[in-house]
Amino acid sequence: MAPIERHRIFSQSFSTVFYTIPIRGLQDGRSICAVLRDSGGAEIKPVLDFRLGYWQVPGVPQIVSFIVSRILPKLRGMNDHSTLERFLSFLCSWRASCRLAAEIGDKAVYSLDIAPRLFTPEQACLYVAQQRLHRASAGCFGTEGHAVLVAPREGFERAYTEINGELVQLDLLNDPVTEQEAIVWIQNLAPSAKSNLLDRLSPTSPDYQSLAPFLIAASPKAAAIPLAERGARFSIERAFSASGQLFVFLESTGEAPLDNLQIEPFGASCDRQTALDLLSCTCPHDELLKTRFVAKVDLRDQPPSSVCRVRVDIGDQHVQQWVQIQPGNTDRCLDFIQAFWPLADGDERFLAEIASPLARAWARRPIMQPVRRMGLSSRSENPPSIDLQIAAEASLTRLHNTLWGVRSSIASDQPIRVTLPWTDDPEGTCRQAKEWISRYGFQGSVEMLPAHATEAAALHLRPQQPSIALVALKAGFIPPRDGWLAEVANHLRQAPRTALIGLAPNRRQRGLGVAEISADDLCSLLNDDAIVAVAVSSDLIGCSPMRSLVCCTLAGAWVEWLIGILGQGGRVHHHAGLELWDTDPSHRSRGFGIAVDLMSLSQEAGMAEYHERQTPRDNVISA
C-alpha cells in the first residue's frame, strides 16, 4: 500500500487538482488499483494504468514545474532526480547546444543558435546539476540573429525549457572562458544587446563593476534619439560622479515635455526610487526650442557604480539608456559643464549645486604624478633669502613679458622659480621657458605641474631650498619700479605674521584703503580678478587654508590661503611694491573659474554672499 497525495495548482492562466503516488523508476504500462472513498464512506477501487504524458498535453508542463519547485525540495533524502530527468529527456522534441560566453559575478551568459523571437524575456527553465533538478528563470534577448541566455552560475549541466510549445533540451557547454575572452565577446554585442545584458545584471548585485564599462559604447555620450516633432531630438550628454553625487546632463530640442525622469545607478535595488534634483535652462536653437537639464542624485548610501540607467518619458516616447559614469574630479569635467550651461558663471543655483561640488572634487584630487623640475646654473652657494615664484599660464608670451620686467628690477643674484602648467608639448614648453630664463641671466629652476592638475597646485609647490619669505606673482604682470622686492622683504621682517597682496591698478576696486584687509575684501578682489601677487614670511607658509582645499584657480587658492592666515591670527595688507602693471589689460582669467571658487569659498566657510547676481526664480535663463 502507498499513500496518495492531493495537490492543487491555482493561477490566473491554469488551475487543476492532481495526485501523486511514490513509485520507483518509470512505470509506463503498469496498472495499479486505487482505493478511494466517496462521501458516504463506500470504497471505490478503480484500476489505473500508468502512461508517460506528452508535453503537449494540457497541464503536463504546469504539473512538472510544480513537482520540481514544490514537491522535490520537501522529499528528505531524495537527492537523485535522474528518473524525472529521464522522463523530461523522453518528452524533448529536440536539443540544442549553448556555449558559455562569459561568467559575470553569479551569472553565466550563454550564446545559442536559436531565433530570439522563440524565447520570452524571462524564460522558465528546469536546470540539472549533480543529478538534481532546479527551477529558475533565465533572462533572454537577441543579438544579430542569436539568442543570449543569462542563467544562474550554479554549475548547471543541462536545462529543459519550452520553445514554441515543445520541450527542448539545452546542453550547457561550460568550457572555461577567460576574462579577456568575455570582454571581447561583450564588446562585439549590438548596442541593444549590451543594454539588455545590463538590465539583467543590475537588479541582482553591484558585483559586476569590472565588466560594466565594457557594456557601454566607447563614447560616454549617448546617441541622439529622434522625437515625434520634426527635427526634435533627445540625448544624454554626459554623466559625472564626485563627492558622493551623480550628475547627469541631458538635452532636448522641441516642445515635448520631459516627465517621469528616473536615474538608477548600476546595482541599485530595483524596488527603490532614487530621489533626484533637476535644474533646467532654455536657449534658442534654429527654429526649435532647446532645453538643457542637469539631474543630481545622491549616491552616498549607494554602492559605487560605473554606469547608470536613465529612464524618461518625453512626449509620447519612453527612453531608456545606459550611460557610462565618468569621474567628475577632472579639468575636462569643468570645461564640459561650462560649455554645456548657458551663462554658467552667472547662474547662482548652477554654481552652488553643480559646478562647486565638481570643482571642489577636482581641487582635492591628489596629484599622483611627479612634478617636473629642471634646475638652472647658480652663481651662489648660499640659499636664497626670498623664494620668488612666477606662475605662468598656457600662453608663454605673458611669461616672457614678466621675465623682462623682473630682470630689470631685482638684483642679479636673486634666483627665480618659474611654475608652468601642463601643455600638449611639455618638452617644448619647458625648453622655451628655460631659453628665456638663460637669456636674461636668471638663476633658479623651472617646474611643470602634472597633467590635469589645477592652477591652484602651483601654490602648494615648495622650493627645494628653504627661504625666509615667499613672493609669488602671476605671469603677464611687471613690477612697478626698481627695489620693489627689497621693499616687500623689509616689510615682512618688520611686521611678523603678516601677508601682503599685490593688485593690478586697472583692476583695483575703488575705495580700498591701506588698512587691514578682511576676508570679505579678499573675496571682493577675487571677484574682480584683481589679486596678482602675494607675499608671506616663512612663519606663515605652513598655515592651512581653511578646513580643506576648495579652489581651482591660482587666485582662488591665494585667497583661500590668506583666509586661513586670517583665521589663525595673521594679518593681510596691500603693498604698493606689489602693485603690478598688466602687460595686456584686455586679458582676464576665466570668469567661470573665479565664480566657482567664490561659490566654493562661500559654501565651505559659511560666509555671506560676496557678490550679487540676478537669477530668475524658476532657474530658466534665456541665452
- The x, y and z cell numbers of residue 144, run together, are 544579430
Sign of CA dihedral 315, 317, 318, 320: negative
Average predicted confidence (pLDDT) for the chain: 83
Helices 356-363, 331-340: crossing angle, 10 deg rounding: 160
Within 440-530, residue ranges assigned H as helices are 484-494, 519-527
Q: How much is the pLDDT for 616?
A: 36
Q: How much is the pLDDT for 218?
A: 40
Tell me if 241 sits within 8 A of 327, measured CB to CB: yes
Q: Which amino acid is at 337?
A: I
- Percentage of the chain exceeding pLDDT 90: 37
Instruction: Set out the domains of the chain in order of their start, with CATH numbers.
Output: 5-74 (no CATH), 88-214 (no CATH), 216-363 (2.60.40.10), 372-589 (3.90.550.10)
Please give the C-alpha separations between residue 524 and each of 527, 530, 531, 612, in angstroms, as whole numbers. Answer: 5, 9, 10, 11
> Beta partners for 15?
10
Tell me if 255 sits within 8 A of 289, measured CB to CB: yes
Classify residue 520 by burial, with Cβ atoms within 10 Å: 0-12, 13-18, 19+.
Answer: exposed
Q: How much is the pLDDT for 204?
A: 54
**Phi, psi of 352, rounded to the nearest 5 degrees:** -75, -40
Q: How much is the pLDDT for 611?
A: 38
> Beta partners for 499?
536, 572
Residues 6+ apart with CB under 8 A from 566: 518, 519, 572
How many CA atoms within 13 Å lie on the side-chain side of 167?
23
Q: How much is the pLDDT for 355?
A: 95
**Weakly modelled stretches of the chain, pLDDT under 70:** 1-2, 26, 29, 77, 202-223, 269-273, 284-286, 375-384, 508-515, 542-548, 588-590, 605-623
Q: How much is the pLDDT for 623?
A: 27
Helix (H, G, I), strand (E, B) or coil at 526: helix
Q: Are strands 245-253 and 166-173 parallel, antiparallel or unpaired?
A: unpaired
Residues 6+ apart with CB under 8 A from 254: 227, 229, 231, 232, 233, 288, 289, 315
* Strand boundaries in 227-306, DSSP class E: 233-242, 245-253, 258-265, 276-285, 288-298
Q: How far apart are CA 397 and CA 63, in angstroms?
A: 84
How many CA atoms within 13 Å lie on the side-chain side of 200?
24
Q: Is the pTM higher than 0.85?
A: no
Q: How much is the pLDDT for 618?
A: 40
Q: How much is the pLDDT for 155?
A: 80
Nearest Cα neighbor of 279 from 200, 201, 342 is 342
516: left (phi over 0), alpha (psi -120 to 50) or beta: beta
Helices vs. strands in the chain: H and E counts, helices first: 14, 32
Nearest Cα neighbor of 602 from 546, 554, 555 is 546
The 8-class DSSP code of residue 159 comes to E
Cell 525622469, residue? Answer: 261
Tell me if 463 sits within 8 A of 379, measured CB to CB: no
Residues 6+ apart with CB under 8 A from 620: 280, 281, 282
